[in-house]
Amino acid sequence: MRSTFWLVVIVAAGLTQNLWAWGLIGHRVIGEIATRQLSLVSIQNIRNIIGKESLAQIANFPDEMKISETYSSTAPWHYVNVMEGKKYQEGPISDKGDLLQAIKAQSLILKDKKATPEKKRQALTFLVHFVGDLHQPLHNGYGADSGGNAIKFKLGGVETNFHAFWDNEVIDRQKLSASEYANFLMNLDDKEYGQWKKSTVLQWHEESRALLSSMYGQKSSIDAGDIGKYLRFSRPIVDRQLLLAGIRLAALLDDIFSEKELKDRFNY
């Protein structure tokens, strides 16, 4: 039953490539980094929920779900739009849900001892994916241009857009597998990890938002046709965001699978 469902959504997904946030590799990198940082208690809990599958393997399902009719209501959970110059708390909050609401709701399901195994499996899948999306700055973008989707340009003769560029271009050009990419990023000094883990989910969103002005500001090099210059600017940002997402996903999962309360993570 389930395999038939995934076959249908995977076929459908192939038709709409530009809907893949962070690309397939990016989300797997985040799952891989998180797995290397988890507590033993979390590892055991995750095994109970998804068996032999890994976080990297389940990380992309939500992008496949959102384009299937049954789960189309989950599409707004992948992003949060806030007007330029405004803050999330100033509202209005979408009644269809948004990325911040979804991370909170799925975390609570995962922590709920009474939730069914199927609910927990789905919640874990969503969470692995959504913490990734939260670290793609354009998933925290300005509604006016649909998080950069409305800004079209050509790359190597093929039409693309600003959002898709940030989702895929930098990562795909590295030609690394997810585990190679995770190794590559984790070679950095790990002393900051403890600090990164402490912050709140709203801070993760605000950090992503803070990157937007330079991402848009430097866009003039794309407009001038100098994609190479823009890639050199964007690569360190993408790499850091992927690493942050992986480390923080592990921190959030460790909170969920410990006795800790989640209210400190979710001050919204």
User: Which residues of the shown chain bind Zn ion in the complex (CB under 5 A)?
Assistant: 21, 63, 78, 133
Query: How far apart are the C-alpha atoms of 266 and 255, rounded to whole Å?
Result: 12
Give, in degrees to the nearest 5, the angle at Cα 239 between 98 and 41.
70
One-letter identity of residue 74: T
Nearest approach in angstroms of CB 78 to Zn ion is 4
Q: Which residues lie closer than 8 Å to 222 by C-beta, 6 or more apart?
A: 153, 162, 165, 230
Nearer to Zn ion, 12 or 224 (CB): 12
Nearer to Zn ion, 78 or 135 (CB): 78
Nearest approach in angstroms of CB 75 to Zn ion is 9
Nearest approach in angstroms of CB 92 to Zn ion is 22
Instruction: Report DSSP letters for 23-83, one per residue.
Output: HHHHHHHHHHHHHHH--HHHHHHHHHHHTT--HHHHTTHHHHHTTSGGGGGGGGGG-----
Nearest approach in angstroms of CB 253 to Zn ion is 18
Nearer to Zn ion, 103 or 185 (CB): 103
- Are 20 and 168 within 8 A, CB to CB? yes
Nearer to Zn ion, 96 or 232 (CB): 96
Nearest approach in angstroms of CB 53 to Zn ion is 19
Nearer to Zn ion, 9 or 222 (CB): 9
- Are 116 and 185 within 8 A, CB to CB? no
